[in-house]
């Protein structure tokens, strides 16, 4: 059973370019979460999505960042006009939704974004 898959694993962008990070949830999981991790810090919640719906994007910067989880295909975290402060590890997690409280989130290997 494949786990959460993320690609690319490493991404280098110059300031002003766009970064697209992809996440395929575990089989059978319909809920996706994105987190950002700065060096030597814990993960910070960014956004929670279900298929074709953004449920909570309260942790995402209001500008330049967007996320989607289409009916078909992976979830995409998009960062436009990247700046050096966007350099971080971006992790995706997925869970089933059992409706009985908080579901365990399983994380992918992350995408390490470096902005030059």
Partner 1 sequence: GESVGLHLPTLSVQEGDNSIINCAYSNSASDYFIWYKQESGKGPQFIIDIRSNMDKRQGQRVTVLLNKTVKHLSLQIAATQPGDSAVYFCAENSGGSNYKLTFGKGTLLTVNP
Binding-site ranges for partner 1 (CB under 8 A): 4, 6, 31, 33, 35, 40-45, 48, 55-56, 59, 91, 95, 101-110
Nearer to partner 1, 85 or 101 (CB): 101
19, 27, 108, 111 from 114: Cα distances, Å: 10, 29, 18, 10
* CB of 115 vs partner 1, minimal distance in Å: 19
Report residue 56 CA to chain centroid gap: 13
Nearer to partner 1, 4 or 11 (CB): 4
* CB of 12 vs partner 1, minimal distance in Å: 16
Q: Which helix (H) or strand (E) holds 47?
A: strand 43-50
| DSSP assigned state of 54 | E
* CB of 42 vs partner 1, minimal distance in Å: 3
């Amino acid at each position: 059973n494949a786990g959460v898959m993320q690609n690319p694993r490493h991404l280098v962008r110059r300031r002003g370019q766009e970064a697209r990070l992809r996440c395929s949830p575990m089989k059978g999981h319909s809920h996706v979460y994105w987190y950002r991790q700065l060096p030597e810090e814990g993960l910070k919640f960014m956004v929670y999505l279900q298929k074709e719906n953004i449920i909570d994007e309260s942790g995402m910067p209001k500008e330049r960042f967007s996320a989607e989880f289409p009916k078909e295909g992976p979830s995409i975290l998009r960062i436009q006009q990247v700046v050096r402060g966007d350099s971080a590890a971006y992790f995706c997690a997925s869970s089933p939704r059992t409706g009985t409280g908080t579901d365990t989130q399983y994380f992918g290997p992350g995408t390490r974004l470096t902005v030059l």
